[in-house]
Structure 1
Amino acid sequence: MNCTSFTEHKYMTSLSILIFCSAYLLGSISSAVLICRLFGLPDPRNTGSNNPGATNVLRIGGRFPAALVLIFDVLKGTLPVYLGYFLGLSPVSLGLVGLAACLGHIYPLYFNFKGGKGVATAIGAMLPLGWELSSLLLTCWLVMIFISGYSSLAAIVSVSLAPVITWFVKPDYTLPVTMLCLLIILRHKQNIIRLLNGQENKVWDKGRTKE
C-alpha cells in the first residue's frame, strides 16, 4: 500500500467512525418522548405498552402525533445512511451506520438508554438503497397490518423479507441489511413469544398494552 492509498484509507476509516457516532447520537433523539411532551401527552415510556414508538403514541395521542413520530424515526435512519452513501462508504460500513442509528433509537443516550424497537429507523436506513426495496417493505408492512392488526407481526414479517428482497434488488447490500434485520427481530423476542401464545395486542387496542 503506497502513501496515497494509506492516507485515503485512514481518511475513510476516520470518516466512517465519525458517521457511526453521529448516527448513534441522532438515533438517540427519542421523537416519541419529545412529541408527547409537546402535545401534553403522557410519557410513552410509562404509558400504554411503555414503548416509545409510533404505535404506542397512536394509542396515547392519536394519528397526528403518531405520524410525526413515525416520520422523525424514519429520518433518523435515512439521513446518516444517505450521507454515508453520498460520501462513498462501503456497503458493510453503510450497514454499520444503519445499525448505529437503530442502536441509538433502542438505547438512547439522552433518555436513560430506554428506547423503542427500532423498526421505523431500520426501514429509514434502507430507504437510500432504492425505492424498490423501501416500497416493497412498506407494502408488506401495510398488508400485514391490514390482515392481522398486529404491529409487531407486520414488523417481523417485513424485516424478515428485507434480505431476500435486497438479494434480488441490490445484492451487494444483502449483508448489511441482514445485520439490521437480525437486530430488529431480536428486539421483538418478547413479541414473538406473545404472538405464539395468542397474547399480543393489536394496533387499535387501548389502555395498558404490551408491545
Structure 2
Amino acid sequence: MEINIFHVIFFLIAYLLGSVPGGYIMAKTKNIDIINQGSGNAGATNVLRTMGKKEAVVTLLFDGAKGFLVIYVAQMLDFSPQYVLLSGILVIIGHNWPVFFGFKGGRGIATSLGILVGISWQVILVVLVIGLIVIGISRYISLGSITGAVILPFVMYFLGLHTVYIIFGIIMSVLGIVRHIPNIKRLLKGTENKIGKGR
C-alpha cells in the first residue's frame, strides 16, 4: 500500500491525539498544574502520587484509550500492518513528547498498553501479569513498567506474532525504556518512590 495524503493526515491526527495527556486534563479539573507537581510528569503514576487512585485510574484509561482508538480506526480503514503500527508509534511519540505542552509528556506505558489491546490480548495479558507481579514484589511502579517494556518483544516472539509486530514491539520497548531513564537512575541510587510512600 503506497502512502498518500490521507495516510499523512491520519498519522498527524495520531500524533496530535497522543499529545493530549489525560493526566493534565484530570489535574485541571482539580485546579492543579500537574506539570509543576511531583515528578512533573503528566502520566498516571504522578497523578496517583499527586491526586489519588481514582484520578490515576481515569488517567490510565484515557491514555490507554488513545492508543487503542488509533489502532482500531487504522485497522477499520484497512491500513497495511506497517501503517497500523506506524500510527501506534506516532500516538506514543505524541504522548511522550506532546506538541501542546513543550514536548514534556508521560512515559507512554498506558498508551502502549492500549495499543497492545488492539493488537493481541494474549500479549497484553502476559506483559500485564508479569509487570504487576514485579510491582507487587518491589512496590516500584516504574520497575514493573520497565520490566514490561523489556519483555514485550520477547513475548511477541514466543507467542508467534508476525515479524513486523515484533519489530514494532522492539520500538515500543526502546521508547518505554528511554522515557524511564530518570527512573532507572533513581532505582540504581535507591531514591525511587515506592507505592504508598505518600504524595
Structure-1-length-normalised TM-score: 0.87
Q: Which runs of 5+ in 2 are unaligned?
A: none
What SS does structure 1 have at the residue aligned with 2:95?
helix
1:92 and 1:150 map into 2 onto residues whose CA distance is: 34
Task: Answer yes or no: is the 8 Å Cα contact 1:33–1:43 preserved in 2.
Answer: yes
CA distance in 1, matches of 2:149, 2:85: 14
The answer to whether the 8 Å contact 1:55/1:203 transfers is no
Q: What one-letter code is carried by the residue in structure 2 that aligns with 1:167? A: Y
| Equivalent residue, structure 2, for 1:148 | 138
Unaligned runs of 5+ in 1: 1-8
Q: Distance in 1 between matches of 2:197 and 2:10?
A: 39
**Counterpart Cα distance in 2 of 1:182 and 1:15:** 28
Post-superposition offset of 1:82:
1.6
- Counterpart secondary structure, 1:117: coil
- Is 1:179 matched up with 2:165? no
In structure 1, distance between residues paired with 2:5 and 2:156: 28
Residues in 2 aligned to 1:204 and 1:36: alpha-carbon distance in whole angstroms? 20
State how far apart, in whole Å, the 1-side matches of 2:67 and 2:61 are.
10
- Maintained 8 Å contact 1:92/1:175: no
Q: 1:2-151 alignment to 2 at 5 Å?
A: 9-10=1-2, 12-40=3-31, 42-151=32-141
Q: Indicate the residue corresponding to 1:192 in structure 2.
A: 184
Between Structure 1 and Structure 2, whose CA radius of gyration is higher? 1
Determine the C-alpha separation between the residues in 1 that align with 2:196 and 2:34.
16
Identity of aligned residues (%): 36
CA deviation string 1:4-42 (max 9, x = no partner): xxxxx44x54343222111111111111111111133x2
Match of 2:106, SS state, is: coil
Which of 106-115 and 159-168 deviates more? 106-115
Q: Number of matched residues?
A: 197
Letter in 2 for 1:205: K
Find out whether 1:164 has 2:154 as its counterpart: yes
Question: Residues 154-196 of structure 1, C-alpha deviation per residue, up to 9 Å, x if partnerless?
Answer: 1110111110111133233111121111111111112112212
1: CA distance, partners of 2:49 / 2:186: 19
Call closer, same or farther: CA 1:176–1:14 in 2, change over 3 Å.
Answer: farther
TM-score (norm 2): 0.92
